[in-house]
Amino acid sequence: MKRPTIGILTWREGKRFAEPTYFRRLLKAGQELGCTVFLFSPKDVLASGKQVRGYVLDGQGKWQGRLFPRPDAVFDRYRYTPTQAFKDYVAFRRTSDFLYANNRLANKWRVHEVLYRDTRMHRWLPETLLYNRKNLIQMLGRHSLLYVKPLNGTGGRNLFSIEKRGGGYRLLGRDKKRAKVQSFFTDISAVLRWADRWTRQEKFIVQQGLNLQLVPSRAVDMRLLIQKNGQGEWSITGHGIRVGGERSATSNLHGGGKAVPVSDFLRPRFGEDRTAQIVRDCEELAYQTALTLEDHFGRMVEFGLDIGIDVDGRAWLIEVNPKPAREIFREMGAIEQYRQAIRRPLEYALYLAKTQGREGREPFLKRKVASR
């Protein structure tokens, strides 16, 4: 019987890859699942489309390229960068006819528009507008805290917050290299000039800030990972609380945050019963988000959701990442969840290849959801 092959689409330059540690673990998980997993970039597909130069690990753990037939399914891990290589990838995805486990998602504003059209999502969505001076002034009139985020990109880069306090405006941000930036202005016109300079090179959204400081002076949110499993069903792999560094606009682990198990963090603040209610609401939010986005964008394999829990215990959807990291589980010592988070996209890709071969298409529109 033919050994199934799964291709991982990603950025490559020589034998350098965007996420080498994660990819090494993916290849090992593929071996455990009885399939062959290889990495490739758009430029590695031969003109005929029938063969791919894929990269695997040799006996010394070094990357080696060799020719493979077309993969049975492809897991797309090509992440956004403001480069020509990314533009080439987008063009490749538009014309490529591989069997993909995941479609591309749009930018933050388009995702918000799609979610907001579903009234079932309204209770979890903070007010969000495209950034311009008029919208920023309107939002400052309604909210004491705002976040201004680039439409593309992840990891807490190039965003900032504006907070009204002490008769002025405190601005906290992280630049493109995640370095902390802060300023204080008493004059709204100075805030607008500062914000215009920050946002001049790309498009941004402005989003209602939330009172998420369950720990004083630190940003706190939940990272929840929802993935397709080997039966083609959405299932929650796990979640954790991220506590940001002191006086940081974000809770990202890259930016000095730490990871804590959800119940351990929430129970002392809200009690056993209320904590259970909060977790159930966050999980309901996750399933609804996955179904709503998949209805619009087509087949997906996983989402990392950033969920804010305010001081009253209300859950808010802050951001959706279609190509999430899963290091939060390793940071918490949840090793089995970490292994499952790595394995599941391959399990789903194998399921997809099998059902496509048998039925001609993967019936994701059947709204399959694992038992909760």
**How many C-beta atoms surround the C-beta of residue 62 within 10 A?**
8
Average pLDDT, the chain: 90
Number of compact structural domains in the chain:
3
The CATH number assigned to the domain holding 197 equals 3.30.1490
Scanning the chain, the segments in alpha helix (DSSP H) are 20-32, 84-95, 108-116, 133-142, 188-198, 262-270, 272-297, 327-332, 335-359
Q: Are residues 230 and 287 in the same domain?
A: yes
Confidence of residue 256 (pLDDT cuts 50, 70, 90): low
d(CA 288, CA 294): 10
Backbone angles phi, psi at 128, to 5 degrees: -140, 135
**Residue 362 reports pLDDT greater than 60:** no
Task: List Cβ neighbours of 257 (8 Å cut-off, separation of 6 or more).
Answer: 219, 242, 243, 244, 245, 248, 250, 251
Q: Are residues 151 and 176 in the same domain?
A: yes
Would you say residue 118 lies in a domain? no
DSSP state, residue 316: E
Q: Which residues pair with 40 in a beta bridge?
A: 9
d(CA 148, CA 208): 9
CA distances to 2, 14, 28, 105, 163 from 80, rounded to whole Å, are 34, 19, 25, 11, 29
From the list 104, 102, 127, 118, the residue with the least C-alpha distance to 226 is: 102
Would you say residue 139 lies in a domain? yes
From the list 305, 326, 325, 328, the residue with the least C-alpha distance to 317 is: 305
The mean pLDDT of 100-112, rounded to a whole number, is 95
Q: Are 54 and 42 in contact (CB under 8 A)?
A: no
Q: Are residues 184 and 76 in the same domain?
A: no
Would you say residue 259 lies in a domain? yes
**Residue 23 reports pLDDT greater than 60:** yes
Q: Are residues 336 and 250 in the same domain?
A: yes
d(CA 26, CA 301): 15
Would you say residue 116 lies in a domain? no
Q: Are residues 30 and 161 in the same domain?
A: no
Q: Are residues 334 and 232 in the same domain?
A: yes
Q: Are residues 233 and 351 in the same domain?
A: yes
**How many C-beta atoms surround the C-beta of residue 88 within 10 A?**
13
pLDDT digits (tens, 9 = 90+) for 47-58: 888 899 999 999
SS3 label, residue 302: strand
**Residue 357 reports pLDDT greater than 70:** no
CA atoms within 13 A on the CB side of 302: 27
pLDDT digits (tens, 9 = 90+) for 152-199: 876 668 899 999 988 899 999 988 777 888 999 999 999 999 999 999
The whole-number pLDDT of residue 1 equals 61
The CATH number assigned to the domain holding 233 equals 3.30.470.20
Q: Which two tokens stand for residue 107?
A: 């930018």
Domain boundary, last residue among 157, 188, 208:
208
Q: Are residues 152 and 232 in the same domain?
A: no
Q: Are residues 248 and 336 in the same domain?
A: yes
pLDDT digits (tens, 9 = 90+) for 159-168: 999 999 888 9
> How many residues are listed for the chain in this entry?
372
Would you say residue 113 lies in a domain? no
Q: Are residues 162 and 204 in the same domain?
A: yes
Would you say residue 362 lies in a domain? no
Q: Are residues 203 and 221 in the same domain?
A: no
The mean pLDDT of 28-38, rounded to a whole number, is 97
C-alpha dihedral sign at 348, 352, 355, 359:
positive
Domain residues for 64?
5-95
Q: Are residues 222 and 200 in the same domain?
A: no
The whole-number pLDDT of residue 245 equals 62
Domain boundary, last residue among 78, 95, 112:
95
Would you say residue 112 lies in a domain? no
Domain boundary, last residue among 186, 208, 230:
208
Would you say residue 236 lies in a domain? yes
Alpha carbon 30 to its chain's center: 22
